[in-house]
Structure 1
Amino acid sequence: MHLHSVYIKNIKQANENDRLAIFVGAGVSKSSDSDYRSLPLWSDLMSELKSDLAITEDLDYLKLAQLYYLEFGEQTYNQVLRKYFPEDITPSSLHRTILEVNPRVILTTNWDCIIENAIEQEGYLYDKICTDKDLVSSASPNKIIKIHGDFKNHNVVFKEDDYLNYSRNFPLIENYIKSIFSTHTVLFLGYSYNDINLKHIMKWMQSHSNSAPPMYLVNFKSDKPQESYLSNHGITTLVLDGENYSIDDVKNLDKRSALTQSFLTSIIKDDGEVDVNDEQDVIGFIYERIKHLKKLNSITHNQIRGAITNCGFRYDSDGLNVLELFKPKGVLTTDCSDSTRSIHEKFLEILARIDSFGEDEKDSFYRRNSKLTEILSILALAHIKGVVLPEANDNGRIVYFLNEKIDSAKNLEESDRKYISFSESECKSNDYIKYLSSGSYESYKLGEYEVAFKKNSELILACKRHKIYSILLIALFNKNSILWRLKYSFSNKNRSDFEKEVEVKLQDEFFKFPRSEIKRNQALYDFLALHSVHQKANDCTKKILDLTRAVESIKAGGISFNNYADEPTCTHINLLMFSLKNHIMIDQYAPYKAVMRDFVNISILRQSVKKIVKLNQYEIYSAIQFYPSKELQSELRVFFKSEDSNQLRLSASGGCLEWVVFTVLPKLTGQLVGSLSLFDGYESKFENCVRLLAVLNLSDAQVSNVMREFSRLIASDSTAVGTYEAINEFLAHQYELFDRDIETDILINILNTVIDKIISKTAHGWDQHAILNGSIGNLYGYIGVVKGEYTDKVRARRLVFELESYKSEEQRKFSKSLLYSIFKISDESVRNIIKAFIKVVISQSKTKGIDDWEFELWSFAVGFKDFDAEAISRLDEYLVQFRDGKIFSSQLYSLKNLTQYLINEKEVDALEGLNEELGDLIDQYEQRPNLSSI
């Protein structure tokens, strides 16, 4: 590598680390010369001073200025200086280029205001320092320091006394400048070898450490003695010439200024001094752009796109994608750079050549070019299976260089399942950072938020200590996620302990990073700040609308084309695994959850024109993890039993069904059974899993395992109405969609589990609510459908024995629900036991409230009691209270249904009058005006 390339690399690295200072001398100001206005030379000023003093001999200009000041006084002295440095000089492109480099510190010995004018015009943020007071009050890390003062502050440093008294007049600025030499790489621009200012600066440098960062002086003519002299003071001379730096594109500048601008441009440009004919340089260029990403366990497409630039992706139906590096005059992008694209073109030529190698030749090339192997490994972290090559096949399909560092899509799915199986992973790792990251994440998932907070705090300190900025940014984000749980979760009893913990202002922390790390981690920050998540949400909304229109068009006989049909699937996998593998605690943020749901919705919509919709494991995971239970139920309605001949079916890709039935469902059941809180979300995930399974065509073995998990859950004390309803739906859909023949023993076993909870007094309120309100009604129905028969007399006796201890009101409720449901599927001996109990309940005295009337009519309807004509007059008297419309009970609907049933099925015509009146009361209620109160 050319020495200049090494020096540029050092300067560029210093700038990325916020450790570059540029000294601007008089030569830079001369770049503002124009055809109608030329800045005077120092020699012009010296000549006027000598002429006014009538001095002919050569004097040091410091002494000359001192003599002029003593002879003519301060006012005349200042006037003559101002004449040579007008304030209205227009900055040149060189000044603007210096600002584009954006060094942390700009120092200048110039008195003119050209650089300040450029800062103001271009909108850069620099604090101007002309006095010690300015330095004390400066808040910005970016500073422009006028070390020789300026006319506005009346502190110009020029005459001999000014230099002799500098330490007394500018003590803070002098010490600050000296500190710059110890901490910053310094670049001198616009200084000649014999510049008196440079010599004065070198005096300050004499005491700085030998281990200080390098210093460079830009010049245009080689002078070995002078260069050796400067080298002894730690300054490396960079001689610029037309061979190394092209000035063809630089307009309106003299040659020296043009060469300086070209040199600065090479610092700004990301491609630096890359020799496109050098394989190592080209490969190294790509590697340098993405090497920072290898610290992460997974990478987003946006991170790759932002790091490499001038690139895009092709998406495949297997969920993987192919990187496309844009060539010159190719796809127009906002980051378009011809020089970068030229390097891309050479890189693609290298890949094309490797692609033609045999295996041994490939292995040899990879051993010689380890950076290429690293590039492929990093791309694999973003599920990139190859790089598009320039040639195209005859059939128009893309040809790509295969990334041998990535597994097949099938193997990737299998390896990814440990992240999406709702199970805990071991936090064993020799890497302390990874150990803390995974440990904090697992504690968070388990609801152990205080442990998670402690480990995450240790992770933040460790990342700061080792300067691992990407993981630090994630840990800072995770701190807020954990704090939210600690402060506001009802499951946390120690909320008050964390009330004073301050949440992280992620943007503020991010902008404290070194400039190079801000650039490298911009895509990660955009994701964590939810900027890119919101953008993806907008994209998904548009995609859903477009798909909806396309589906309607296709169903109406039209056609629709989409070259990016597989993009949502690839992006979904990428974003989901990025979050999970990097332990990002983003699952509680609504925009992220909405995007994950949208991807599932898009997949269903896109395939809805077919007869079968096939979901992959990532979509199944997202459906379980991110949907509210009722919303998923609504989403799945398209798969419910339909009389339409085009019945839409749901399927799962690959071995997903086995995975869901034998891994995911047992994990969710176990988590729900072991849950200590109503607010941990396990119930919703279990319900979602069951609702998905309900509309999937399962094998007998899979159904048996599902039913075993149901039995395990019902036997626990973690059941809720939603879980019973999900189980009920599973039975209904499995029968309606697939005419499923579930083994009687399995169904009876679940029923016995329910009965045993009543017998053992372990049935809690949700259990009883589900039993009494028909939330498991399909269980009895299924037993009847498969011609099952309940024959357990011992259990039946124990059940009625337990119910005998209940209050009359509860006995009536259980008689109508559980007992009668068992009665209908039992043999004669069990029926007799149940019937005897219910008859006793019927014979009990009643208060004749609405519950009593409902039970009595039910008794008539099921044939456990003969119809009593006197009941009509008693019921008529009871309904008096509702006739004025002031009060109403929803149970009147039930009474209406019972009277209608008795009329239609039992031919009790005497109830027609009451049935009609019940209908009138219900109509009167439903037609009442809507009232509101404040």
Structure 2
Amino acid sequence: MCLSYLIKEINEYREKKKLVFFIGAGVSKISEYPSWAELVLSMADEIGYDSYIIDKDGKPRLSSEEFLKIPQMYYNKKGKDEYLKKVKSQLDVKREPNDIHKLIMKLNPYHLLTTNYDDLLEQTANIFSVNYSVINDDSKVSDAQTQRYILKVHGDFEKDNFVLKEKDYLDYEENYKLIDNVMKTIIASNMVVFIGYQLNDYNIKLILNWVQNVQKDSFIEPVFIYTDPEPLDEVSIQYYEKRRLRIICANEICQNGSYYDRYKAVLDKIITYKDTPNDITAESAINYIYNKLLPLDEIMYLRAKDFVGLFDGYKVNKTNVISNNGNKECIFEKLFDAYRHKDNLLPETIEKINYIIKRINNSGIIGWSLENETYSDVTHLNINNEWFYGNYVEIKNHLTQYGDSIKDLYNKAYDLCMLGHINESYNLYINLLDKCKKQQKWIYYYLVQANLKFLNMAIEQIKRKSSGFVGVIYFGQELNLFSEELLKNVELVQPFSDLPARIQRYDFLKILSSNNYYSEDIAKLYVENYEIAKDITNNSVQIIGPASYDYSEITMIDAIKFTYDNKLIFSLFSEHKNFIKITMATYLKGKYARMSIDCDETNHIKERKFEIDFYDILLIIENYKLSEFVVLEKDVDLKMFEINESEIRNFEEYIMKMMSYYRENFSGRLNNDETIMYIMIKEKIDVMCYLGNYFIKNKEVIFKLVEFMLFALPLKGFDYNIRLICLDKIVINNNNVLDIEIIKIIEKFLFEKVKFCIEHSNRRLLENWKDTIKNYSEWINYYDNEYKSDILSDFCSVKEYSKENKEFLSNLNLILKDEAIIK
């Protein structure tokens, strides 16, 4: 069997968390632990047994049978007490773990099996802070605190319960039933590597016989590390391979030295294994990259650091460009050479290349820095999520078009949630779990569980806004929006650590079950925020080249695409929003400070302009509350940023679409799902209206937005003073000219409110509205002091009003004709 293949296979099982080491006396001997042979020979001398063979060097050689027979004879002759005293006097001694123990632990075996009696493995596990349950007796099996074991199959001296003499072996399955079952289960389902044994060891023979009798062809063939100085001949290798034992001969790696040197050479070779093609050709590079990416086909988008983490020896810089980290031969260079000339390749190779390029385009990678050039022919798609763009009508229409594939059902469950149909979404996710399990779609299975966790968070968040006193404040009554069954059952069903090992190898997925998804990134951002604030104070803003805030923006975009493209409900929650807000504040402040530097001919600094685009606007709308954006506005003047006409048109279309959706869905009495949806989008509608007054130029859109703000939006979260600020921004954006159409809209608003207040006249109603009426009248007069309202003048003149009503109507005086002024 090829050495490199065996080492590759060991590492594959290591990644799957199915690697087990079975450790014999040879490893403990390096720590100068007394050997079994020394004990047995000492027993033989005491009882006068001398029938063993003497080799050519005059040393006694015990057979496998004698290793068991002599301790039995000693026990029979001396009795139990003398036997225990003899064994413990020689073997129950303290020693320190050696480097071989530590190298084994570096491979992070899931279980450790041993026939040794010492505690060297336990000591080593403590050094590496790995929590194994030590099982040295049947009574310990049911008390195991962890799922990873140090299984001492021959017991130890803790309870004077150990296997050494012949009868112990003969009665083993009876006296150690549970340990025997655990051992067989582990061997049957894991890759076992034997180290520290001789090939003729009695224990090896027993295990191989059991494996052959019980497991037949279904078990994972174990590996034996052979460290004797004499090379193993081909006939012997074939003999053991026929017995289903594969052998790594240490002398293929280390021809000289001690047993320690040979153990170390083999383990070092396994530890330093790199999963890259030995001979890098275009074909091997393409196959290697393709096989790495294919198992992640269910992930729609990979962040740059997750993508590059799949390939040994490569890294990404701060701009998400891959470098080969000094490798002379680069798999990506081979890939791109083939891509440029793919017309000359076989169809199946072209298909693999196209798949790879598609996955690259759906990742955070933006290029490759190779030895001779930088390759950046990557066409990144926009965020692939209709929710992000407010395409709710399209999402709703698409619900009926989904099929019954796992991918379709996963997307449908997400869409249902994002439309407010949380009860239906929950039930679909639950049904998907069983379907994913049956089809072994484990990544979808985990993503579904992650979304169930996020769904639980969404339910708690919406309950806080709709129940109890808060519900009465916002909706006039306490609302019960979710079924009782759903409230009982929502939870994360299975943690990441319980998933199949081949999924657990992708560590980046683990963060989805964490409550600190962005903790590392946010810590860096706080440092960058501090540095930017300090630079602004000291007037030392970076002028030349990319600044740290540029890199933060790249990280943010990568994280956003991972969340949205993979349809993760996580985008709704404060941790995600806080990360976006902190990042945006960081790079907007940095860019604004750079644009604010005085530029003239004497300081040789060129004026610098930065752009803001539709995506920046959408990110603010999606992640900021209005009060939070007002705080940002104090530090950053968005009018300083340039925005091109196409980006403005995109934003104007978005505003028209959102206003239309809001009017059509939230104008009447709302059912439960509509109420949930209203809660989910109300805050971003507020921010959209506020931002609209910064950027929109189309007169029709401006007029419709003003009308929407005054007539469609409820008061909560967007009071009439804020709406006046928005109107100010519109006028400022229009060179301080107040358009007559806007006056007419405000006039209509004032008429409706005044008419309502007079017709339903009571002191509290008049008191509540008088300041708003006065402020809007003054606002019109401030921008156009010649304007007088016909409709309001007529209303005030039509009849004689009570003193209280007259006082209220007098707030309109600045925009009334002379004959209608209330005195």
- Using the TM superposition, give the Cα deviation of residue 271 of structure 1 relative to its aligned residue in structure 2, in angstroms: 1.0
- Residue 444 of structure 1 contacts residue 452 of structure 1 at CA under 8 Å; is this kept in 2? yes
TM-score (norm 2): 0.81
Paired letter, 1:422:
G
Q: Which residue of 499, 521, 525 corresponds with 1:513?
A: 499
Q: How far apart, CA to CA, are the structure 1 residues paired with 2:29 and 2:350?
A: 47
Relative distance call for 1:295 and 1:325 in structure 2 (3 A) is farther
Distance 2:703 2:336 in 1: 53
CA gap of 1:358–1:623, structure 2 versus 1, over 3 A, is closer
**Cα deviation, residue 160, structure 1:** 1.9
Distance 1:853 1:708 in 2: 32
Match 1:159 to one of 151, 156, 165: 165
Matched to 2:647, the amino acid is C
Query: What's the counterpart of residue 929 of structure 1?
Result: none
How far, CA to CA, are the matches of 1:482 and 1:860 in structure 2?
Answer: 53
2:366 is paired with a residue whose SS is: strand
Instruction: Decide whether the 8 Å contact of 1:694 with 1:729 is kept in 2.
Output: no
1:738 aligned onto 2:734: yes
* Residue equivalent to 1:423: 391
* 2: CA distance, partners of 1:764 / 1:499: 44
- 2:582 aligns with one of 584, 598, 622: 598
Q: 1:857 to 1:745 in 2, by over 3 A?
A: closer
Shift of 1:188: 1.9
1:11 to partner: Cα distance: 2.6
- After superposition, residues 474-493 of structure 1 pair within 5 angstroms as 474-487=447-460, 488-491=463-466, 493=480
Q: Which residue in the other structure is 2:135 paired with? A: 129
1:627-666 matched pairs, under 5 angstroms: 627-637=624-634, 648-653=639-644, 655-666=646-657
Aligned sequence identity (%): 17
Partner of 1:921: none
Is the aligned partner of 1:172 residue 2:172? Answer: no
Question: In the alignment, is the contact (CA less than 8 A) between 2:136 and 2:155 conserved in 1?
Answer: yes
Seen in structure 2, the aligned counterparts of structure 1 residues 721 and 626 have a Cα distance that, compared at 3 Å, is closer
Q: Which has the larger radius of gyration?
A: 1
Tell me how far apart the structure 2 counterparts of residues 262 and 402 of structure 1 sit (CA, whole Å): 42
How far the C-alpha of 1:497 sits from its partner, in A, is: 0.6
User: Match for 1:184 among 187, 190, 200?
Assistant: 190
- Per the alignment, residue 840 of structure 1 pairs with 800
In the other structure, the counterpart of 2:106 is 100
CA contact (8 A) 1:463 1:469 kept: yes
Whether contact under 8 Å (1:422, 1:668) holds in the other structure is no
Aligned letter for 2:106?
E
Which residue of the partner structure matches residue 380 of structure 1?
361
Name the counterpart of 1:116: 122
What's the CA shift string for 1:319-356, capped at 9, x where partnerless?
A: xx4223322xxxxxxxxxxxxxx4xx421xx5456667
Provide the secondary structure at the position in 2 that maps to 1:8.
Answer: helix
Change (3 A) 1:199 1:832: closer
Q: CA deviation at 1:535?
A: 2.7
Structure 1 position 708 matched with structure 2 position 704? yes
Partner residue, 1:891: none
Counterpart of 1:525 (choices 510, 514, 530) is 510
Flag structure 2 segments of 5+ consecutive residues without an equivalent: 53-62, 467-478, 597-608
One-letter amino acid of the structure 2 residue matched with residue 401 of structure 1: Y
Cα–Cα, structure 1 residues 581 and 355, in superposed 2: closer, same or farther, change >3 Å? closer
Taking structure 1 as reference, are residues 613 and 78 closer, same or farther at Cα in structure 2, changes over 3 Å only? same
Q: Give distance in 1, aligned partners of 2:541 and 2:573.
A: 41
Equivalent AA in structure 2 for residue 346 of structure 1:
E
1:203-248 deviation digits (Å, cap 9, x = unpaired)? 3324212212222222243244444443343222332324xx3589
Match of 2:484 among 480, 488, 497: 497
Secondary structure of the corresponding residue to residue 30 of structure 2: helix
SS in 2 for 1:531: coil
Aligned residues: 764
Aligned-partner Cα distance in 2 for 1:159–1:223: 32
| CA deviation profile, 1:35-61 (whole Å, cap 9, x unmatched) | xxx74462x444433333333334731
Q: CA deviation at 1:591?
A: 3.0
Cα offset, 1:28, TM superposition? 2.3
Q: Distance in 2 between matches of 1:113 and 1:835?
A: 98
Offset of 1:704 from its aligned partner?
0.8
Q: What is the Cα-based RMSD across aligned positions, in Å?
A: 4.2
Structure 1 residue 431, shift from structure 2 partner = 7.1
Question: Does structure 1 conserve the Cα–Cα contact (< 8 Å) formed by 2:117 and 2:154?
Answer: yes
The residue number in structure 2 matching 1:360 is 341
CA distance in 1 between counterparts of 2:689 and 2:566 reads 29
2:303 counterpart (300, 303, 309): 300
Residue pair 1:354, 1:362 contacting (<8 A) in 2 also: no
2:47 aligned with 1:53 = yes
Written as runs of structure 1 = structure 2, the 5 A alignment for 1:573-722 is 573-608=557-592, 609-610=594-595, 614-637=611-634, 648-653=639-644, 655-671=646-662, 673-675=664-666, 676=670, 677=675, 680-696=679-695, 698-699=696-697, 702-711=698-707, 722=718
Q: Give the partner amino acid of 1:501.
A: K
Task: Report SS of the residue matched to 1:218.
Answer: strand
**What residue identity is the alignment partner of 2:266?**
F
Q: Distance in 2 between matches of 1:781 and 1:224?
A: 98
Cα distance in 2 for partners of 1:672, 1:715 equals: 10
What does residue range 175-574 of structure 1 map to in structure 2 within 5 Å? 175-210=181-216, 211-220=218-227, 221-242=231-252, 245=253, 255-269=258-272, 271-272=274-275, 274-275=277-278, 292-304=295-307, 306-308=309-311, 311-314=314-317, 321-327=320-326, 342=327, 345-347=328-330, 351-352=332-333, 359-360=340-341, 364=345, 368=349, 374-391=355-372, 399-403=373-377, 406-407=378-379, 412-413=381-382, 416=384, 418-424=386-392, 425=395, 426-427=398-399, 428=401, 432-487=405-460, 488-491=463-466, 493-495=480-482, 497-498=484-485, 501=488, 504=491, 509-520=495-506, 522-526=507-511, 529-554=514-539, 562-574=546-558
- Report the TM-score, using the length of structure 1 for normalisation: 0.72
Which structure has more RCO (C-alpha within 8 Å, separation ≥ 6)? 2
Inter-partner Cα distance in structure 1 for 2:424 and 2:127: 52
How far apart are the structure 1 equivalents of 2:708 and 2:560?
Answer: 31
CA shift, 1:202, in A, is 2.9
Cα offset, 1:421, TM superposition: 1.0
The amino acid that maps onto 2:364 is: H
Shift of the 141–281 alpha-carbon distance from structure 1 to 2, 3 Å rule, reads farther
Alignment match, 2:5: 6
Counterpart of 1:51, as a letter, is D
- In terms of mean alpha carbon deviation, does 373-382 or 580-589 score higher? 373-382
2-structure distance, mates of 1:619, 1:46: 78
CA distance in 2 between counterparts of 1:767 and 1:4 reads 88
Structure 1 residues 49-85: Cα deviation after superposition (integer angstroms, max 9, x where no partner) = 3333333334731222222221222233334333543
Residue equivalent to 1:15: 14
CA deviations 1:636-656 (Å, max 9, x no partner) are 35687xxxxxx9534435722
SS at match of 2:729: helix
Amino acid at match of 2:22: F
Which residue does the alignment assign to 2:59? none
Query: What whole-Å deviation, never above 9, does each CA across 1:524-569 have from its counterpart, x for those lacking one?
Result: 3336524341332232233233223334444x89967654342122
Pairwise CA distance, 1:136: 2.4
458 and 262 in structure 1: CA distance in 2 versus 1, 3 angstrom threshold = farther
Contact 2:113–2:152 (CA<8 Å) still a contact in 1?
yes
* Distance 1:831-1:560 versus aligned 2 partners, 3 A rule: same
Aligned AA for 2:497? Answer: F
